[in-house]
Amino acid sequence: MSESTHSVLVVDDNRMNRLKMTRALDRGDFLISEASGGQEALDLLQSQVFHLVLLDLLMPEVDGFQVLERMQSDQQLARIPVIMVSAVEEKEAVERCLKTGAVDYITKPVGAETLNDRVRRALHLP
């Protein structure tokens, strides 16, 4: 992995959503890994280095809120920026995610340009 490549974890229980985000980001600047659920994401976060997490909110078993809370309670994982990507548009859900530690919240469906802009901003990239 070159110094210009950033490792991104895409977490969504819907395979098509993961595929859309992965394709949108696959521009050579990002090394992308995928997780189909919250527990898988937490396991990957413990075993690999990631620079950013794109995290779905509503997932079975371990949901996005729980992943975000666990990340924030871990000194190392709390440093990783998390962008929530969800179909949930309720103000309370957005505020809860941002208060819990997410750096951004994007509602689905998300366009490739918007996703890349938000990811680049979260990683402080031009």
Domains of the chain: 6-120 (3.40.50.2300)
Task: Quickly list H helices, 1-126.
Answer: 15-25, 38-47, 64-72, 91-100, 112-122
Spatial CA neighbour of 41 closest among 61, 26, 24: 61
Instruction: Tell me the pLDDT tens digit for each residue of 55-79.
Output: 999 999 999 999 999 999 999 999 9
Predicted TM-score (pTM) of this structure: 0.95
Instruction: Tell me the pLDDT tens digit for each residue of 16-35.
Output: 999 999 999 967 789 999 99
Spatial CA neighbour of 100 closest among 123, 77, 125: 77
